[in-house]
A and B are shown apart, each in its own frame.
Chain A
Amino acid sequence: MELLVKNGFVYDPLNKVDGEIMDIQVRDGRIVGRVSSSAEVIDASGMIVMPGGVDLHSHIAGSKVNVGRLLRPEDHYWDVVPKTPLTRSGVGHSVPSTFTTGYRYAEMGYTTVFEPATPPLKTFHTHEELNDIPVVDKACFPLFGNNWVVMEKLRDGKLNECAAYVAWMLKVSKGYAIKIVNPGGIEAWGWGKNLTHMDDEVPNFGVTPREIIRGLCKVNQVLGLPHPIHVHPINIGTPGNYRTTLETMRCVEDLAKDGKPCIHITHVQFLAYGGVDWLSISSHADDIAAYVNNHSHVTVDMGQVIFGDTTTMTADGPFQYRLYQITHNKWVNADVEAETGAGIVPITYVRKNYVHAVMWAIGLELALLVKDPWKVYLTTDHPNGGPFTEYPRVISWLMSNKVRQRIVKKIPRLARVRSNIKDIDREMTFSEIAVISRAATAKALGLKDKGHLGVGADADISIYRINPKTIDPSSQYREIRRAFRRAAYTIKDGEVVARDGKVVKTPTGRTYWVDPQIPQDQMARTVSELKDRFEDLYTVRFANYGVSEVLLPRSTPIPAQSTL
């Protein structure tokens, strides 16, 4: 099957194409150099052509997300999606049902979405949900930062054994990367407590957050994993936490190799607060951005806040409890034996609320103050900051100082004073938007065939009804938002899957997972040791733990070469 996307303004930052009018040729699901005259032609004249969107952090699948759906029938009630002959029905807004999730991403021109936090014991559930998210390619990150075996191995200085265990876990859970959330803090939450300093000892485990992060950073390098450790540091959502965020970034600075990133700090907006309490909260996005600007070992993603109703959900049990105490909204907690936890609290971000306005400002400041767009990615930490369907709104804000300042005039005066947003006039270009929403995220994930339109890449292409030559994103921010909300065409593996914001085809996406290659005898030893103590750790049997590859309809393992 051949496709010719003709005459579009192509933005392919990885291949240094910046708005040139170019043809993109596709055969059998891949970008090729030439196609024959019998290729189907899509006339992209006057439109922007980008690689399909790659979202590296969005809570879309798994037991925590699902309890979020259960918690919020009132969220679904007013956003319903009827069945069509081609598509399944569903519900939407901040915790959409699975079919709706896939369709809505496709309608925005996104073709790859990663679930960033899954508890290994329940990752079978996560994959079942990912299987029911149509169109997009996907993966999930298992949680390691409060895992008992990991903490014991690091406490005992057994780094190689820890690496072998992590390798086993990635294989068995079909996971993609090492996710760390509030390292050690969730184990403390097993007793209703939390950790607040990098050198606090985890009760009963004799390791500290610093040691967990450093240990797993080294494990990541030993295993040669494609993505760095993906970290949600301690003290999230706490006034003054910018200090621990900087400490977290610093704590692995010496481990960086070849100038490549060795840590990714996620939804960093929630981690860039100054002040000592909610009354004095301020933005320290400038300090975070300065650090990121001056160091090559760290990348971040925004975690942008959108004013409106949404649902917070993270593995950070103690933080979610605190959020319940602040908001008095309904609260879900879900600890997972020997591994991790979770918490969910609905929230409404209100523009008139000084704290929420500062949070809104910080997300944008981070994206605009970090000079290199290859280091800062577009996310709302869906649904924590807001639903993923609001990405087009964030894009319009990043491209238009005018609309930002309009909002700045409407936020409380104190929020203006305690943030930097009113003084920032940078406006991102289309190329930079392509970087932060596709090229950089694909690169960060090590997905060589995604996020770009060079020959050999997967033919994941999005075409937007915007003419970069005639539009002024600064004043026409509404058009920008509308255009990015409904892609003119979304192409997945060379097939048109959505047209003008309507799904026209529902293929099954790939499930990526990482398959670390470690010596056989090392793996055998790890498995044997684990089997011996499995019943001491868990209430399920070893044989019933994990995810068989047959569960995944398009299993796509990515081998990783370890140094073990």
Chain B
Amino acid sequence: MTVYDDVVCPFCGCCCDDLRIEVEENRITKIENACVLGRAKFEVYRVDRHTSPVGLQDGVPRPIKLEDAVDWVAETLVKSRYPLLYGWSSTSCEAIKLGIELAEEVGGVCDNTTTVCHGPTIQGVHDVGEVAATLGTVRHRADLVVYWGCNPVHAHPKHMARYTIFPRGRFVRGRSERRLVVVDPRRTDTARLADVFVQIQSGSDYEVISALRMAVRNEEIEADAVGGVPVERIEELADLMMGCRFGILFFGLGLTMSDGKNRNIDAAISLVRDLNARTKFLIMPMRGHFNVSGANIVSTWQTGYPFAVDFSRGYPYYNPGETSAVDLLARGDCDSVLVVASDPVANFPRAAARNLVGVPLAVIDSHISATSTCACVTIPSAFVGIEASGTTYRMDGVPLPLRKVVDPPEGVRTDEEILSAILRRVRELKRGG
């Protein structure tokens, strides 16, 4: 039996690195310190997967050789005039680098799941900046924690226990010395734990944030209520935020994907920026996939841009709405798609998903997904963080090493190996080979 300590969990943006995994004869027999989501990934990873590449022949998926699969992908990409390489958030940085290199080589677009998740956050950052920190600063100092439009109890189960509410910090003893505020249209399970719950009308986040900004600036709000919240409560919340010693606002898709999108984030960051004139206040997005931050970070240092990078003219070009996957697909701009470590068919809008499966489509993923069932070619890959090592970046930008604790099934390669093979073959084809 082998025991692996300090294993980094490859599920959500928390990237908890205190997991303890026991392995016997290449099977995981014990998982400690994981939350329900992480535990599920370590328990269930072996099911619903191909162990050899699969190609659609007459509409029926049949096993094919890896080199044939690689050939098909390489030929398709080289022939394409505007290919899309999408996904990336659930694989390692090493694989992401290869993806960027491949997109550059074939003159395509490299986009990751930020496009349907925190793209608006990044657009807010472009306009206003951001006021952030690593998660440990929150544990050490925060006496006020606000969760806005997110539900960590379900989506980031250990967030409050490891980083924000329950643990002891150098300057804050724990739960008793912290105030938990939740702002949401629904009384979520996180809201049930809150000291203060502010229920707002769905889609009125922007108005409520504007009102808070006015209160922070001592301006009179000439209304009885904003977003369904009585003005007195808004002013109380503003006072709470101004009166804390160290506050932080965490936000999720409730803010990025509701009415207003990047303007919601712009306003939220502006609010926190305004609060810094009164006290120490930070703002951070709750990143979903465990390495979506890594996809942004690697893409930014190599190309200057965090997602939706268009290499079609030989240099990186970025304009979400123009070069982002959902919009490209909705307009039917792309003539082939390679999906890596993601399932866009399951979560893209219908028009985009329809165009996605209407073009030559290849999938590299560790398990069978809605997207892979529609793909012309599927190449199975090892689960990063379980069957393959690599680097990931936590939601606050801290780099962490993902571990390999078991071998992948016979014949299943890592994303890195598969992408390297495709890149090699693409270069051969371009040279005339």
Residues of A at the B interface (CB closer than 8 Å) are 61, 63, 65-67, 69-74, 76, 80-83, 88-91, 95-99, 121-122, 124-125, 128-129, 132, 148, 190-192, 204, 321, 324, 330-338, 341, 344-345, 536-544
Contacts and interface: CB of A to CB of B under 8 A. Distances in A.
Interface residues of B, number: 60
B412 to A, nearest CB: 24
Contact of A97 (B140, B245, B303): B303
A317 to B, nearest CB: 9
A80 B315 contact: yes
A121 B397 CA distance: 10
25 contacts: A66-B297, A69-B301, A70-B122, A71-B129, A76-B316, A76-B318, A82-B313, A83-B315, A89-B314, A90-B303, A91-B305, A97-B316, A128-B93, A324-B129, A324-B273, A332-B125, A332-B130, A333-B130, A337-B133, A337-B134, A539-B139, A540-B17, A543-B5, A543-B6, A544-B401
B162 interface: yes
A331 B276 CA distance: 12
A97 B314 CA distance: 15
Interface in B283-317: 296-298, 300-306, 311, 313-317
Nearest to A330: B129
Interface string B337-377: 00000000000000000000000000000000000000000
Contacts of A69: 300-301, 304
Contacts of A543: 5-6
A91 B314 CA distance: 11
B315 A539 contact: no
B156 interface: no
A83 B104 contact: yes
B128 A91 contact: no
A124 B104 contact: no
Interface string B123-151: 00111111111111101110000000000
Contacts of A61: 301
B213 interface: no
B51 interface: no
B3 interface: no
B246 to A, nearest CB: 7
Nearest to A548: B401
A70 B305 CA distance: 6
Given A70-B125, A128-B93, A337-B133, 11 more contacts: A67-B130, A70-B296, A71-B125, A73-B126, A74-B126, A90-B303, A148-B170, A191-B245, A333-B130, A333-B276, A333-B282
Given A71-B129, A98-B302, A124-B391, A190 B6 contact: no
B139 to A, nearest CB: 6
A70 B132 contact: no
A8 B305 CA distance: 43
B280 interface: yes
Give the dominant DSSP class at A's interface: mixed
Contacts of B139: 337, 539
B45 interface: no
B6 A83 contact: no
A122 B399 CA distance: 6
Nearest to A64: B397
A80 B134 contact: no
Nearest to B133: A335
A452 B134 CA distance: 42
Contact of B306 (A70, A332, A333): A70
A66 B311 CA distance: 20
A165 B305 CA distance: 37
A114 B303 CA distance: 21
B162 A125 contact: no
A190 B17 contact: no
B305 to A, nearest CB: 6
Nearest to A119: B134
A96 B6 CA distance: 36
Given A71-B126, A122-B399, A331-B131, A98 B313 contact: no
B32 interface: no
Given A97-B316, A333-B133, A539-B139, A91 B303 contact: yes
Contacts of B214: none
A321 B277 CA distance: 10
Contact of B315 (A82, A540, A542): A82
A540 B398 contact: yes
A372 B414 CA distance: 57
A96 B315 CA distance: 13
Contacts of A129: 301
Nearest to B97: A132
Question: Which 10 pairs across A and B sit closest by C-beta, in order of nearness?
Answer: A337-B136, A192-B280, A335-B133, A91-B304, A330-B129, A82-B314, A80-B315, A76-B304, A124-B399, A539-B136
Contact of A336 (B134, B280, B399): B134
Contacts of B305: 73, 76, 91
